A and B are shown apart, each in its own frame.
Chain A
Amino acid sequence: MIFSDPISFRSAVSALQTKGQLPRNLSAKQLQAIRRAIEKNAGEVARDKITIALDKVKDSLQSVLNPAQVQREPGAATVTEGLNPATARVTIQDALAKLGGRAAEMNVDFTVKTAVDVAQGGGRFLSDQEDVDEYPAWELSRMYDRNVPRGFRVGPKGALISVPTEDWPHRWEAAAIAAGDHAALRVFKATGRMVALKQSGIWQALGDGAGGYTDTLGNPFPPFAYNSGFDVDGVSRSDCEELGLLRSGEVASRTAFDPAKLFSA
């Protein structure tokens, strides 16, 4: 029996009874028991479907982040096996298509890229907490080129038009004020460099979009915003002392962060 549209429980029972596939003399209590069993099974099936889809999404992302080292022949060198963004995209689209509806229309590519970037950024953020003595600060600067950098928009005939309030120097200044990091603000105004101690609240403020920016990702590490080409490099203790971010002999601290909120995208 095939139903092309959802129908009520009562109609389904009636249809089955007409076909002789359900007894006609079921009591109300028995019908209720059948209904509860169907609902429980449907819920489990739905949950299973969603779980399978989510597991596929998770496995695909893991394959991009941590490709496996596989030895295809005994004694041979290992090869790296894993999904690339194109094959991850197709795998995730297939998994979501089984759920149907708008889930299949998601911008999977953008989601995969952002999730991977955030996970990798988070990993570097944690490992950078291990050398706070030697590199107590980070410097924010462009690492990856963009066709349309932040602070610009595409105008007539593809020309780039400046939108200064959107660029990273403006965001830095707003984040420094919001975080109360006067030292970072002083260094920025004196040198143009976006340098701050790892322990400064400026990093979380950048991720939170201090200054009213709504395209940020909420993390205290890069990428701070969607599709950002800016990243951080460690700044040595001697440079920090020269910039006046640390006094000689002053102990630097790690970044304070909430592990539960670390990976958000």
Chain B
Amino acid sequence: MTHKRNPSSDTAEEEFRTLYRHTARRVYAYARRQSDPDTAEQVVSDTFLAAWRHWSRLPDPVLPWLLLTARNALRTQWRTRHRQARLTTALVFQPSIATVPSAEAAALSHQHTLDAVARLNSDDREALLLIAWDGLDYAEAATVLGLSRSAFASRLSRARQRLDALLVDDDHHHYPASSAKEIPA
């Protein structure tokens, strides 16, 4: 999504509100998969405060800039707290089952994939999720990670291979014959 940033103070605030409402969830989800809820909220606040301060200079599209800023804000939070919060399963690894016809089978498959993703190293995981969850293209994802496009493509390729290997190795453990299984909330 692109935004035309009008320097007029009257419309700028309205445009900013629109940008925020369209992208705040995305920034939160990005931060949340690397931190706890409180940290993720702080990252959202820091990110959009920076965006507001730089309003007239924001690039189009703006999402990579927001995610890069969020990434920096996360590292600030980690340095401040002298730790990196471990990934949790509270939100980010819960499968979406709302509209899939065979919800149970889909949920099992999704959980299988998510379990494998959780076992990847953080670099591999971030490369995959920037593409798959954040919807960035290679150039945009490379910007967020501070890499060249070719370096990012290499990282993504290796990440896919490792994920593929994990899924193939685990396949026979995650699809038992019986289908009845409770999906955690």
Do A and B belong to a common assembly? no
